[in-house]
């Protein structure tokens, strides 16, 4: 089980993410970035892969874009479905692993928003996902996803912390109206490029006493941009743009968030 497979995480995801992005934001402007991308390339339909609770999917639907959604977590899909219904949309949202989902239709545009791709923990699963997504795209179809470049200083810090060395992240009000504090602890393995962490949720009563504690694990993999370039070539994509942020900032060597916009090409390296 990973963070997003837990019902309590899925139900509270939007609430604590809103709070998190008030103070720290690698993702400012993400909704309009994906909307612009979908408007430009989504004329034959969009698939939002690893759609989570549907932040992007619903934004696209609200702007009149045809979009389906898929996520490996049944809990996240069910929250996304409820939200869609609540806003009057009947969307096709199905649980599936991005390395193997098969859709009835082919799309001209695929998005993996806000670090969904980083949940693939090996080069093999990244390769499987890229190949599988390619199968679900029309010829010339476009895909966007993001990766984090390993950063020597951040990663060195994380190599010196254990996955139980918690730091306070934020306080928010959960879906039951209770105050919760979130702490997380992350450790980094430079050999596998995996960040392993634990998220600790403390539920508080009116006086601030802890009445419940839940610990939820999370693993994400960082990818050097050089390895991603070769992986894209291997799996049959050509790179159209690489950005350092959702306002299409340039992606220089120090940009942490790397946003890839790639096109399904007719050439694929035979292996």
Ligand X SMILES: C[S@@+](CC[C@H](N)C(=O)[O-])C[C@H]1O[C@@H](n2cnc3c(N)ncnc32)[C@H](O)[C@@H]1O
Exactly one of 78, 115, 161, 178 binds ligand X (CB under 6 A); that residue is 115
Measuring CA to CA, which residue among 20, 30, 21 is closest to residue 259? 30
Instruction: Give the C-alpha separation, 53 to 14, whole Å.
Output: 7
Instruction: Give the C-alpha separation, 73 to 52, whole Å.
Output: 8
Stretch touching ligand X by CB under 6 A, among 49-57, 160-168, 174-182, 249-257: 49-57
Cross-strand bridge partners of residue 187: 196
Site string (119-158) toward ligand X, x via CB under 6 A: xx--------------------------------------
Give 22 or 212: the residue with its C-beta nearer to ligand X: 22
For the bound state, the minimum distance from the C-beta of residue 256 to ligand X, rounded and expressed in Å, comes to 15
Decide if residue 113 touches ligand X (CB under 6 A). yes
CA distances from 71 to 4, 206, 234 (A): 10, 36, 25
Decide if residue 46 touches ligand X (CB under 6 A). no
Decide if residue 51 touches ligand X (CB under 6 A). yes
For the bound state, the minimum distance from the C-beta of residue 72 to ligand X, rounded and expressed in Å, comes to 4
Decide if residue 259 touches ligand X (CB under 6 A). no
Question: Please, are residues 240 and 263 in contact by the beta-carbon 8 Å criterion?
Answer: yes
Exactly one of 31, 60, 98, 110 binds ligand X (CB under 6 A); that residue is 98
Measuring CA to CA, which residue among 24, 66, 63, 31 is closest to residue 47? 66
Continuous segment of H or E residues that includes residue 225: helix 225-235
Residues found near ligand X in the complex (CB under 6 A): 4, 50-52, 55-56, 71-73, 76, 97-99, 113-116, 119-120
């Amino acid at each position: 089980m990973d963070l997003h497979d837990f019902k309590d995480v899925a139900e509270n995801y939007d609430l604590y993410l809103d709070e998190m992005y008030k103070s720290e934001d690698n993702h400012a402007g993400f909704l309009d970035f994906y909307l612009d991308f979908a408007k430009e390339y989504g004329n034959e339909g969009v698939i939002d892969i690893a759609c989570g609770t549907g932040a992007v999917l619903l934004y696209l639907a609200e702007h009149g874009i045809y979009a389906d959604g898929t996520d490996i977590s049944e809990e996240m899909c069910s929250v996304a479905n409820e939200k869609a219904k609540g806003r009057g949309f009947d969307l096709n949202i199905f649980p599936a692993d991005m390395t193997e989902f098969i859709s009835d239709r082919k799309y001209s545009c695929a998005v993996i928003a806000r670090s969904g791709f980083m949940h693939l923990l090996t080069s093999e699963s990244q390769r499987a996902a890229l190949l599988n997504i390619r199968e679900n795209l029309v010829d010339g179809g476009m895909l966007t996803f993001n990766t984090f470049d390993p950063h020597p200083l951040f990663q060195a810090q994380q190599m010196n912390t254990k996955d139980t060395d918690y730091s306070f992240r934020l306080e928010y009000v959960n879906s039951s109206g209770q105050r919760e504090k979130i702490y997380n602890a992350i450790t980094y393995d430079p050999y596998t490029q995996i960040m392993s962490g634990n998220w600790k949720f403390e539920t508080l009563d009116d006086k601030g006493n802890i009445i419940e504690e839940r610990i939820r694990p999370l693993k994400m993999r960082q990818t050097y941009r050089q390895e991603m370039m070769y992986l894209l070539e291997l799996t049959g994509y050509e790179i159209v743009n690489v950005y350092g942020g959702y306002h299409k900032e340039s992606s220089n060597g120090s940009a942490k968030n790397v946003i890839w916009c790639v096109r399904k090409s007719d050439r694929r390296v035979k292996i």
